[in-house]
Amino acid sequence: MEVRVEISVRAERQSRVDYLLDNLDVRFSEEDYRLLMRTEPDIKTKGNESFKVKYRVKVPRGNELRIGNSFGDIFIDDREEPVEINLAYGDLKAGDFAKGGELKISFGKVEIGHFETGRLHLRYCDFFSVESASELDLDQQLSNVELNKVQDLR
């Protein structure tokens, strides 16, 4: 597995850039067979100040993919293994999920190519689109859903 973290901050003065960088904590821990990554900002931004943390994770084929994410976007290439994604306040853009999985999405936008079979739990999604699927179990609340070609929908 390969992980790359990119942090960018924006402030008008160098002293504020230094403050933001010094007080933005990115933590890694291992638990069982999982790698946990967490951003813990202990900062107060002022005016036009902002910060962004991007995690780029390369997961080798053959490994399950489980993601829990709040307040950030997720981009995923095609996956041969089942996926489990819990996303709140962010967008998901993905290729094909050949073995499907389970998605729990709240307050975001989602675009997926093919999603073979699985469960979708959607809450307040601005837009959710799947190009094709074989079998979907859909539980949605106040979401805009576009399913182009689905063989079996429950």
**What does the pLDDT read at residue 36?**
84
* pTM (two decimals): 0.83
The pLDDT score that the predictor gives to residue 11 is: 94
Contact between 124 and 142 under an 8 Å Cβ cutoff? The reply is yes
Q: And the tokens for 122?
A: 């959607």
> Does 54 share its domain with 100?
no
Q: SS3 for 43?
A: coil
Q: Which pLDDT value is given to residue 103?
A: 96
Last residue of a domain, one of 9, 31, 58: 58
Give me the residues paired with residue 152 across strands: 135
Chain centroid offset of residue 94 CA: 10
In total, the chain counts a number of residues equal to: 154
Q: Residue 8 has what pLDDT?
A: 93
Question: What residues contact 18, with CB distance under 8 A and at least 6 apart?
Answer: none
Residues 23 and 48 in one domain: yes
Same-domain pairing of 3 and 44: yes
Q: Are residue 83 and residue 42 in the same domain, yes or no?
A: no
pLDDT at 39: 86
Tell whether 121 and 92 lie within a shared domain: yes
Secondary structure of 135-154 as H, E, C letters: EEEEEEECCCEEEEEEEEEC
pLDDT (0 to 100) of residue 40: 80
pLDDT at position 96, please? Answer: 95
Task: Enumerate the H helices of 1-75 as residue ranges.
Answer: 14-22
The rounded distance, in Å, linking the Cα atoms of 64 and 34 is 10
Q: Please tell me whether residues 94 and 39 are part of one structural domain.
A: no
What domain range includes position 24?
Answer: 1-58
What is the mean pLDDT of each successive set of 10 residues along the chain, which is 154 residues long?
90 93 88 82 86 88 88 92 95 94 96 94 94 93 90 90
Number of domains in the chain: 2
Tens of pLDDT along 57-73? 888 888 888 999 998 89
Digit-coded pLDDT (tens) for 115-130: 999 999 999 999 999 9
Q: 76 and 49: one domain?
A: no
Nearest to 110 by CA among 136, 134, 86: 86
Q: Are residues 146 and 78 in the same domain?
A: yes
DSSP state for residue 42 in the 8-state scheme: -
